[in-house]
Amino acid sequence: MTSTESVTAQTAATPDDAHLEGGHLSQTALVSLSLSTFMPALGMALLPMLMVSAAGPSAVFSTVLTAVLMSCVGVAVITFARRYVAAGSIYSYVGEVFGPWARLLSAGALLTGYAIQIAAISSCVGLFVGSFFASHGVTGTAGLLVQAGSAVAAIVIATVVAYRGADTSVRAAVGLALVSIPLVALIVGASALHTHLNLGGQFHLASGQVSGILLGVATGAAWLIGFESCTAMATETKDPHRAVPLAVMAGPIVLGVLYVVCTIAEVPGLIATQDRLAAGESAPAALAINAGLGATIASATDVVLAVAAFAGLIGMINYASRCTMAIADDALLPATFTKIHERYHSPSRAIVIMAALGAALILTLTLATGSLIVAYTLLATLMTLVWVVPYVLVCLGAIALNRRLGQRKPLVALACVVGILGIGWVAFTVVLSPAAVAIAIAPAIVALGTVFCVVTRRRRRATATPTAVPA
C-alpha cells in the first residue's frame, strides 16, 4: 500500500513492462461500476420482499437501518481510502495499522470471500435464466442443467470481458445495469399506483415488531456485503483520494435510498400478493400481475434480472482479481497472480484463477445439493460470515489510525463502533439461523485460506533466498 505521496507498487512496471494503467478511470466510471456491481435492479426487485418476510409491514425501518449500518462501515473504509492508494482493499488497509497478522487473516478471508461472491452472483444468473425456461416448460433435471450451465457460462463470458481491461468492464457492466433498471422501475411504480402506499401502516411501529425489524437489518446487510470492493480499483483511478471514498459511500447511500423508496412503494403490493409469493412466484412477477401489467411483463423480469446479475458478475471479477493480485504482490499467493496482460493491462492470471474458483464452487455445490437455490442460500450465508472478520478489522483499524495520527474524530469513532456492533449482530443472526453447515464451514475456509497464504509466503521466501557462492 502507498501513502498520498508515493506511487503504488501495483502500477509499477513488471519485468516484461506490463502494468495496470494508473489514473485512467474517471470518478464517474468508478462510481458507476461500484453501483452496477451491486445489481440495483435486482435489489429493487427482491430486497423489499426479503425485508417484508422478516419485518412485515414495517420493512422500511429495516431498510433504513441497513443503509445506516453499512454507511458506518463505509466511514471506516474511507478513513483509509482518503489517505492510502492500494489495490488490496481492506487487506492493505488493516495491514497498515495492525501489521502482518492482520494481513494474513484478512487475506485468507478475502481470498475465499471473493470466490464465494463470484459463485453466488453467477448462481443468480442461473436462477433467473432457469426461471425463464421453467415458465416455458423446462423443469426437472433439464432445468437444473440449464441453471448450472447458465451460471458457468455467465462466469466464462464475464471473465472474457474483465480480461479485456477495466474500460471494457465499466462499459459492459454499467450498460447492462442501466438496461435492466427501467422494467423493474415500471413494475415498482405500477404496483405503488395500484395498491397505494399506506404510509400510516408502514411507519407505525407496533409492539413486538422490533425483533423482526432487526432480523431484516441482518438480511439487508448481507445484500450489501463487499460494497467497499471498488477500493481495489484505486490504483487505476484518477484522483483516487477523492473518487474512491465517493464510490465506496455510493453503495450504502445511493442504493440505500433507492431501496428505501422501493420498499415503501412495494410493501402494500407484496402484502397483497402473499398467496402468489407462497406459491413460488417471484416478487416482481407477482407485483406485475397484481398491478395489471400482464404475464408478458412478468415473464420478462427473469431475463432482465439475469442481465442485472451478469453486470454485477463483471464488476466482482474485476475487484477479486485486483485484490488477490495485491495479496500476491506481498508474496502471500503464488506469483502467477501478479501477471499483467501486456495489451489489456488487466491482471489476467488472477482474473482467470478467481473465475475458475467461482465456477468450480458453484458447480460443486449445485451437484452436491441437487438444487441451485440451496447452493445460493449456502453461498450467501458463507459470504456474510466470511466478511465479518475484514469488516471488524477495518472498523477497529480506522479508530487506531486516527489515534496514531493524533486526530480526534468522535463521529468516525462512533460510526466504527456502530459498524462493529451491527456486523456482530448480523453474524449472530446468521449463527441462529438454520444454516448450521455454513456456520461450521465459514471459519474452516477462512482458516484454510490463511494457512494457504502462510505456506505460500514461506515457499516464495525460500525460493527468493539467494544461495551462497563459494569463494
Q: Which residue has the cell 449482530?
A: 425
In order of their start, the domains of the chain are: 9-464 (1.20.1740.10)
pLDDT one-digit tens code per residue, 353-377: 999 999 999 999 999 888 888 888 8
Can you read off the three cell numbers belonging to residue 100? 502482518
Q: Which residue has the cell 475456509?
A: 445
Single-letter code of the amino acid located at 96? E
Can you read off the three cell numbers belonging to residue 403? 489515534
pLDDT at 465: 61
pLDDT at 17: 56
pLDDT at 7: 36
d(CA 435, CA 218): 14
d(CA 90, CA 94): 6
pLDDT at 144: 85
Q: Which residue has the cell 437489518?
A: 217
pLDDT at 10: 43
Can you read off the three cell numbers belonging to residue 38? 451491486
pLDDT at 436: 56
Q: Please list the ranges in the chain whose pLDDT falls under 50.
A: 1-16, 467-471
d(CA 120, CA 43): 15
pLDDT one-digit tens code per residue, 295-354: 888 888 989 999 999 999 999 999 999 999 999 999 999 999 999 988 888 999 999 999
Contact residues for 341 (Cβ-Cβ < 8 A; gap 6+):
18, 163, 165, 347, 348
pLDDT at 53: 86
pLDDT at 210: 79
Q: DSSP alpha helices (H): ranges in 135-273?
A: 140-163, 166-195, 199-202, 210-223, 240-250, 256-272
d(CA 163, CA 109): 24
pLDDT at 132: 82
User: Would you call 454 exposed, middle or buried from its count of C-beta atoms within 10 A (0-12, 13-18, 19+)?
Assistant: middle
pLDDT at 469: 44
Contact call for residues 70 and 77 (beta carbons, < 8 A): no
